[in-house]
Structure 1
Amino acid sequence: MSGLTGAMNTALSGLDGYSAGIGVVSGNLANQTTPGYSVETVNLSTSNTTGQAGAGVQAPQITRAADGYTAGVLRSANSYAAAASIDSVSSTAISNSLLNNGDVQSALNQFFLDAGTLAANPTSTAQRQTLLADAQTAVGAFRSAATALNGIIGGATSGLQQNISTANNLLSQLAAINQGLGQTPNDPALLDQQQAALQSLSSQLAVNVIPQGNGQVLVASGGTVLLDQGGAQTLSLAGNSVSNQPQITAGVAGASLNVGPSDGNIGANTQTWKAGSAAIQALNAHAVIVAASVNQVQAEGLTGTGVPGASLFSVPTPTVVSATSNAGTATLTAQLNNAGQLPTDGGPFILRYNASAGWSAVNQASGQIYNPPSGSNLSFAGLSLSVSGSPASGDQFTVNPAPDAASAIQLISTNQNAIASADPYVVSQGSSQPNGSIINSNTGTIVAGSDIVTASPSSNAAIVPSTYYGQTLQITFSSANNYNIESTNNPATVIASGSFVGGQGAVAVAYPAGAASGQFWQVPLSGRAAAGDALTLSPGGSNSGSNASRLAALWTAPGTTTAGSLQQSIIGLGTSLASNAQQATQRSSAASANVTAATNNLQNIAGVSLDQQAVILTGYSQAYQAAAQVISTAHTMFESLLQAI
């Protein structure tokens, strides 16, 4: 009987073991696509009884296939791929903002092209109206691009809020799993949930996972612990006090979380915010440069009615914001004096005061440092700042040279007569008469060359003060080598004089206060003069298109911006953004391939193979049937023995 009992017990232990195996295989097949699930196996070992062979198998032990290193590689790949995907989409959107939303480059190109057409036909009312329409189109292009970029920045902020909420939920879930593992160490079901949560968390930000002996994990990111035995730290979104860029903090202490641009969705959306802000700051700078440059050319000429040109565009003035930690009483105001010196990236600038070293400014976009001389007036990067009050050492200010300029740029005038297409002066041979006519009694051969506008008159130029700008000017040669300049408003007073040495001379008239302040209209003189010869400088009329030519040339004039001509700078901005988008797309494709490879590697170790599970299931089924047959045979033998008795 003991033999039959032993056979029965052995077969029953086999049934238990093979039944457990079949159950595990069924679970594997059912969870093949479950995130975080690792294939499970049944370990059957011989049950050894002293002095007895073939005592069956011990209670089945279920083990979970896992590879911490391979899982970590997949988490890293997930973080990078999630970031690369967002970067690809956002970089493309940023690039398209300048092309698909009004096309700033094309709008400006058409504006300056039509300015050249007006120069050839300055009396054309239709062409003046066309130029004003072009100006409005350019304004619309700037505004449309700014709206698109602001939408991208806002989307990044919303994305960050959602990403942080998701990360907090996952950290809370992991904390709960840790508690469960504390009560049931290395429970396979909890470990599966843990791996799924960790993989999901890695898509939000880069994580460093430190496993514990009981299956619990510690989680850190950027050097900050997010999950330990005490529970999870709550992530929050805040703004940097200086740049206002998004800042991620952890825990009630608000520890700053260092997040890189490749660190999952959170890192990518933070980078998108920065890239979008940099793009719109550069666009703002270009809006200011375009407005200031066009307005200056306007001020350098006259309208068809002989009135000095007024500004066509308006943009916000620079802003200065004091840091809340400032201890001094200084307040600063800023204005743009030279648009050509403003960096095309637009800054902004952080201006700091040090009691021993004085003032220094740093361009936040490029890192370029400026050291303006200390005093009540500071100048750098085309800006002029007035200081009132007393700064304290360590005080700092944020200077934005072009706040929301692309969004707020406006076309001031809708009157086609406001376009200053004429030069301020037309040079005629002879002297002006009281009735306005000009009589030419010259005996020499004096020729006026092509006029220019310059901030630095020639050394041989006779300088006419700005107070006489717009008045008819009379140039009279007292000898072959000298000439005097008078205003016809007061012909007895010499207001400037010059030398005509070697048959060369020049006249430079200073512009009055306004957009052209600091500039001079200059015309060169050459030839042979005789005493008594005269030239008359009369304000330009409607038939003059010289200043419109100057406006048209502004598009391609070298040195208009710190990045070359205005055309080069605008094209350069678009090209740079397009290049960033192309590179981001390539990185995203490569990152996706890395995730596929890492997933396959982990699948080979911990994944569920249908073919393999089918083979295992067949083996368990056959073994189960064999054990059942043993029980059936033992039962028959037992019944026979009972009947024999």
Structure 2
Amino acid sequence: MSVMSTGTSALLAFQRALATVSHNVANINTEGYSRQKVSFATQTPTLFGSQYIGNGTQITDIARVGDQLATSRLLDSTGELARLQQLSSLSDRVDTLFSDSATNIAGQWSNFFDAVTGLSSEAAGTANRQNVLDNANALVTRFKQLNGQLDSLNTEVNNGLLSTTNEANRLASEIAKLNGKIGSNAASAAPDLLDQRDQLIKELVGYTGGTAVSQDGGAINVYTAGGQAMVVGTSAATLTTVADPYQPGKLQVAIKTQGNTVTLGSSSMGGQIGGLLEFRSSVLEPTTAELGRIATGLAVTYNQQHHAGVDLYGNLGGDFFNLPAPSVTGNSANTGTASFSASVQDLSKLDGQNLLLKFDGTNWSASRADTGANVAMTGSGTAADPFMVNGVALQLSGAAAAGDKFLLQPTATAVTGLSVAINDPSRIAAATPVSVSSDLANLGTGVASRMTVTDAGNANLLTPASISFIDANQFTIDGAGPYAYTAGQTISANGWSLTLDGAPVAGDAFTVGPTGAGSSNNGNALILSNLDDAKAFNGKTITLNGAVSGLTTAVGSSARQASLAADAQEAINTNAQDARDSISGVNLDEEAADMLRLQQAYQAASQLISTADNMFQSILSAIR
């Protein structure tokens, strides 16, 4: 009977061990599966006289093979990889918009200024004037197309946040349920159940980033990259989306826990959600603002110079482009009646950064919306002394309450209202408003060379004026003076200035008067054609052309850096996965060797039972 019992124990043990090997082989392609290992031990022996006789074997444990450190490394790299891949994928799409010749702004930008250059060569030509308008409209359309694509990406980010938070909530709920099923002792839980929980945690971290921490017992808590608890024991928090208090079309991520809803920033989330938030804050919004800054720079500089010319009707030029005012939006929780009207006053100080304006009950302050860094703010907010911040003038109306906040977007909405203000080619102010002529009786060699408008708003700009030289070193303007004169000196009055080549003598006179209708003068067109090289931004150190190329370069650099970081993280993740699989993964060669060994042992155990049966039959025959 002892032989029969020993053989039976071995047969059952080897049968279960073979079943475990079969289970390993069957799950070789199951994601997150950890191979299982059978542990054998001898059964308690029986004392016969003075000797112990063994009673066979038993299975003491069927446990999964794993290493907690390797699993933690894989979790960390999985969340970071998901974040970087999301960031890289969306950044590449923005880069394509600004680098592809079919969609970028540089091509239409060049076409517009080439058309203006063509106008400067024949200022009275109707075809050239119409070409300028056509290319101006094409440029505005390109601005709007790019801005529309960026708006679409913002909508995709919103939709992505909705879907990923829902999926993260589902995973967190399932993990909490598994914590309850596994109970307080993971060592006695089913290995397959532990694998299922680990796989769900890996998927959750792929959405939120973060870490998993084992509790005493069997439960695992899961935290986001910013340390927010998603799963604690059998309880799961809920992620949701809320509208931005300043921009209802912009969704933010929040977490509901213990009856409170807390808004989370991009630094609080990793994984795909963190990638979406980081893309919006570090790529999408800055690109939209910079595109608007370029549009603002174009419209402001072009309009200013267009005002300094006259059209074919003999009228001073008006706005060439329509440009909306900077956007100032109050927080939805404001209790006061204050509002702001804004305008761009100093293009050289305009950086496009969104700013938060706060009222503490006594004073106003400004800070960057992205970093919180304080920004200098001067003025009192009145019409005579508006607030000035980063080149934007702000006029306050109404009464603010303590704690009221406003979001200033200097350029983010500029492209939305950008348009060409004129549709009549003859309204293009290509000519200089005033011209100078020499008296036919002049005896000197003085010839008017450079005639420019310095103040298009001067009320006397078009008033005729006479310059008379008393001698080579003195002159009067409409009898006023005399004024000292040196060769090459600039002569200015009434918002215009000119210089003379050569040397005037006593009695020489020059007459300044308005440019008449239908003039072919191209003075203002020449200046307009070179405005793309005007230093307008960053303290007048960056040209409009430089800003356009800078935007393309910045977007490309961001996309490239995100791609390189994603590639590097993918290598790290692959190494972490390989390290985990080298410990927990199923190896077919090893399983085949175990199967052969266990099969032979099973057959040997069967032979033991057969031998015991023969022995038993022999005994029965002997006593029958």
Shared fold (TM-score, shorter chain, > 0.5): yes
Identify the match of residue 470 of structure 1 among 462, 477, 481.
462
- Counterparts of 2:582 and 2:573 in 1: how far apart (Å)? 14
Aligned-partner residue type, residue 292 of structure 2: N
- The AA in structure 2 aligned to 1:587 is A
Identify which of 171, 194, 198 aligns with 1:191.
194
Deviation string for 1:221-268 (max 9, x for gaps)? 222211113410111112443575623323231134454398210100
Task: Tell me: CA distance 1:351–1:498, structure 2 relative to 1, closer, same or farther (3 Å).
Answer: farther
**Which residue number in structure 1 is paired with residue 139 of structure 2?**
138
1:23 lines up with 2:27 in the alignment = no
Structure 2 letter corresponding to 1:405:
A
Alignment match, 2:435: 426
Contact 1:43 1:61 in 2 (8 A): yes
TM-score, normalised relative to structure 2: 0.90
- Deviation string 1:467-492 (CA, Å, 9 cap, x unpaired) is 22234333344665554445xxxxxx
Distance in 1, matches of 2:442 and 2:266, equals: 78
1:35 shift after superposition: 2.0
2:277 is aligned to 270
Structure 1 CA distance, aligned partners of 2:18 and 2:482? Answer: 110
| Mapping 1:85-124, distance limit 5 Å | 85-100=85-100, 102-124=103-125
**Kept in 1: contact 2:466–2:509 (CA 8 A):** no
For residues 552-598 of structure 1, what are the alpha-carbon distances to aligned partners after superposition, in whole Å with 9 as ceiling and x for unaligned? 11111224565610000110111011011111111111111111111
Aligned counterpart, 1:127: 128
Deviation at 1:638, TM superposition (A): 1.3
SS of 2:535's equivalent in the other structure is coil
For 1:133 and 1:44, locate their aligned partners in 2 and report how far apart those are by CA, in whole Å.
Answer: 86
Which residue, 406, 411, 435 being the options, matches 1:402?
411
SS at match of 2:316: coil
Query: 1:595 and 2:573 equivalent?
Result: yes
Gaps of 5+ in 1: 431-439, 456-463, 487-493, 511-519
**Structure 2 gap ranges (5+):** none
Question: Aligned residue for 1:514?
Answer: none
- 1:474 is paired with a residue whose SS is strand
Residue in 1 that maps onto 2:175: 174
Per the TM alignment, residue 166 of structure 1 is displaced from its structure 2 partner at its CA by: 0.9
Letter in 2 for 1:253: N
- Provide the rounded CA distance (Å) in 2 between the counterparts of 1:588 and 1:239: 30
Is the counterpart of residue 535 in structure 1 residue 499 in structure 2?
no
1:98–1:339 CA distance, 2 compared to 1 (3 A): same
Name the SS of the counterpart of 2:213 in structure 1: strand
- Return the letter of the residue paired with 1:370: A
> What are the within-5 Å matches in structure 2 for residues 276-287 of structure 1?
276-287=284-295
Aligned residue identity for 2:16: A
- Looking at structure 2, the residues matched to 354 and 477 of structure 1 have their Cα atoms a distance apart, in angstroms, of 63
Q: Contact 1:320–1:399 at 8 Å: present in 2 too? A: yes
Residues 106, 411 of structure 1: CA spacing in aligned structure 2 closer, same or farther, 3 A cutoff?
same
Q: In the alignment, is residue 622 of structure 1 matched against residue 574 of structure 2?
A: no
Deviation digits for residues 364-403 of structure 1, max 9, x if unmatched? 4685722213352222333222223444554432222235
Partner of 2:528: 551
The one-character-per-residue Cα deviations of 1:140-194 (angstroms, maximum 9, x if unpaired) are 1101111111111111111111111111010011011011012874321210110
Segment drifting more, 26-35 vs 374-383: 374-383
> Is the 1:79–1:262 Cα contact (8 Å) retained in structure 2?
no
Please say if residues 157 and 273 of structure 1, whose CA atoms lie closer than 8 Å, have aligned partners that are also in contact.
no
Question: How far apart, in 1, do the equivalents of 2:215 and 2:395 lie?
Answer: 61
Partner of 1:314: 322
Counterpart residue identity of residue 636, structure 1? N
Match of 1:522 in 2: 497
Inter-CA distance 59–354: structure 2 relative to 1 (3 Å threshold)? closer
Match of 2:31 in 1: 35
Where 1:428 maps in the other structure, the secondary structure is strand
Are 1:642 and 2:617 matched, yes or no?
no
Q: Is the 8 A contact 1:317 1:403 kept in 2?
A: no
Matched residues, number: 604
CA deviations on 1:529-549 (whole Å, 9 max, x unpaired) are 424633233326532111111
Aligned to 1:458: none
**Alignment match, 1:609:** 587
Q: TM-score with structure 1 length normalisation?
A: 0.88
- TM-aligned CA deviation for residue 329 of structure 1: 4.5
**Residue 500 (structure 1) aligned to one of 473, 478, 484:** 484
Tell whether 2:384 aligns with 1:361: no
CA distance in 1, matches of 2:184, 2:73: 29
Q: Residues 343-383 of structure 1: CA distance to partner in whole angstroms, max 9, x if unpaired?
A: 2xx12222234566x44333446857222133522223332
Secondary structure of 1:640's partner? Answer: helix
Question: Percent identity of the aligned residues?
Answer: 27
Query: Post-superposition shift, 1:627?
Result: 0.2
Equivalence for 1:386: 395
In 1: Cα distance, 2:17 partner to 2:364 partner: 77
8 Å CA contact 2:239–2:253 kept in 1: the answer is no
SS of the residue 1:468 aligns to:
coil
